[in-house]
Amino acid sequence: MSDRHLAFWPKNQPRHLTLPRTNLFFNAEVSAARYPDKPFLVYYDTPVTFLQFRQEAERIAGFLQQECGVKKGDRVLLYMQNSPQFVLAYYGILRADAVVVPVNPMNMTEELRHYVSDTGAKVAFAPQDLLANIAPLLDEGLEHVVVAAYSDYIRTGHDYPAPAFITAPREPVAGAGLTAWSDMLARDLQPGPMTAGPDDLAVMPYTSGTTGHPKGCMHTHRSVMYNAVAGMTWVGTLPDSVLLSVLPFFHVTGMQGSMNTPLYAGATLVMLPRWDRDVAARLIQRYRVNGVQLISAMVVDLLSHPGIGEYDLSSINRISGGGAAMPEAIAQKLNDMLGIPYVEGYGMSETMAATHLNPMQRPKKQCLGMPLYDVDSRVIDAHTLLEVAQGESGEIIVSGPQVMQGYWNNPGATQDAFIERDGKRFLRTGDIGMIDEDGYFFMVDRLKRMINASGFKVWPAEVEALMYHHPAIQEACIIAAPDEKRGETVKAVVVLKEAYRGKVSEQDIIDWAHENMAAYKSPRIIEFRDALPKSGSGKVMWREMQEQAMAAAKAAG
């Protein structure tokens, strides 16, 4: 274990973090007691106070228990965009002693089917614009779907654009197993006493990998609490901080830094359901936003705004994020404009967000940062599992309070994910990194097969499994292709069945994929081949094809 980074450890930070021995919902109770009339959420200029938030979350929990039969440890799907309803449902599920299963709202029916069958969930929350995607599953395990209209929480006028699906008026909800959000709250049902403790399951985000189906990462109240407290402490979030929350809450980075941390701190979060640089700049100016979490692509877009100088962004004292390294030129432009660095970090669904962060006072560019409080992180040889020397590349492993318990219902994958070192249980991240002379970690490569498209992780094996549902596809291999805006994009090398050759076009495959899987993972480039290159053992040589695609793009400039 290297401790070189301790020489640069922030002087205002403790080395050890003492965690509350409480459940996550207690954070909502504390903030409601301390700041009852203060806005917790601001959504298109409509506030939700801390007291209103706690009361509505309790009514949601009462409905889940009394009307849906939700019991301690049951899994409940949360399939929504950033909105008051997402945050309320999240904490309502926790208050019911149940487990939140956050689901990317870009997922389609086939992808949702796996979440329902794997978790055994009987209940889901969904918005009215996506109801058609999840409704078919009411015949396949789901018993209740609570349907939300985002416009229910826009009660005042606002002078900036909102997507049509956000402003759409509430539609009537009818059918077995369907309940309108407004009707759920109107029931005013109260839950029984909360019994979940720090070691009970709380949240189960899904992650993919080298196998075809996503796996549920089991997190307890304690492991989620760690990053809520660690994030607040490291970046200095205070009760009077105002944060812009635009990173998706279904993903652990936005969930922790832009949702759970501000609730714990008693801070206010100003929400956007999806990135819009004009609206983001207006909100920063209007609400004097202090902290912003953005992936590098969003920072690039914001600073490229031709009218950026017309906005007063001087209230910002922190822009942090991750997902992909920040280009050097953009980081410098940010520093020149606002006098602040872009603070990068590193984490994954298995660690409920950050395990490493750059210190606020001494960040390094294009750097993962240093291990956080009570985190032991090392770099090992991926084959011998022995630690490598400083400056050499190897697989990053981590041990800490935020590391998951394991993969849901998948003991084999759990066993493969962990190794023992010095009496500690370490997670193998699958990421290749190195430690510099100051103890900071840098990413070098990915051991796991993964595509990073605008900060979204795309796992080729999962996309390939979905591609085989197309009747014309005989074989498919998913690889990364360079993309000017997304960094990487998804390319499918496809072998068509003989009967379909000349009858199905590349665009046909693109259109079908877009209709049947989340947009971020849907292939944007299709290449037809007569056969896929294979090794002597019959394995598809995906890396060779990917290197060819990258070389061709480089040659083309």
Per-residue confidence (pLDDT) for residue 212, from 0 to 100: 64
pLDDT tens per residue across span 310-329: 999 999 999 998 766 676 77
* Average pLDDT, integer, range 248-274: 96
pLDDT band at 332 (very low <50, low <70, confident <90, very high): confident
pLDDT tens per residue across span 45-63: 999 999 999 999 999 999 9
Query: What is the SS3 assignment for 26?
Result: helix
Q: What whole-number distance in Å separates Cα of residue 493 and Cα of residue 393?
A: 31
pLDDT tens per residue across span 224-239: 999 999 999 999 999 9
CB-based burial, 74-91: b 16+ in 10 Å, e otherwise: bbbbbbbbbbbbbbbbbb
* Amino acid at the residue 24: L
pLDDT at 426 over 70: yes
pLDDT at 252 over 90: yes
Angle of the 460-467 helix axis to the 506-516 helix axis, nearest 10: 110
Q: What whole-number distance in Å separates Cα of residue 308 and Cα of residue 330?
A: 14
Q: What whole-number distance in Å separates Cα of residue 399 and Cα of residue 462?
A: 27
Per-residue confidence (pLDDT) for residue 488, from 0 to 100: 87
pLDDT tens per residue across span 494-541: 999 888 999 999 999 999 999 999 999 999 999 999 988 876 656 688
pLDDT at 292 over 90: yes
**The two three-digit tokens of residue 547, written as one number:** 């290197």
List where CATH 2.30.38.10 sits in the chain: 370-446
* Amino acid at the residue 522: S
* Average pLDDT, integer, range 65-70: 98
pLDDT at 154 over 80: yes
Q: What whole-number distance in Å separates Cα of residue 261 and Cα of residue 270?
A: 13
Bridge-based pairing state of the strands 99-102 and 75-78:
parallel
pLDDT at 210 over 60: no
Residue 531, number of CB atoms within 10 A of its CB: 8
pLDDT at 469 over 90: no
pLDDT tens per residue across span 165-190: 999 999 999 999 999 999 999 999 99
pLDDT at 28 over 90: yes
Domain 451-555 fold: GMP Synthetase; Chain A, domain 3 (3.30.300)
pLDDT band at 155 (very low <50, low <70, confident <90, very high): confident
Please state which CATH class domain 370-446 belongs to.
mainly beta
Instruction: Kindly report which listed range (308-312, 335-339, 436-440) carries the lowest average pLDDT score.
Output: 335-339
List where CATH 3.30.300.30 sits in the chain: 451-555
* Average pLDDT, integer, range 127-152: 97
Q: Any alpha helices (H) in 373-517, and if so which ranges?
A: 411-417, 460-467, 506-516
CATH, domain range 49-196: 3.40.50.980
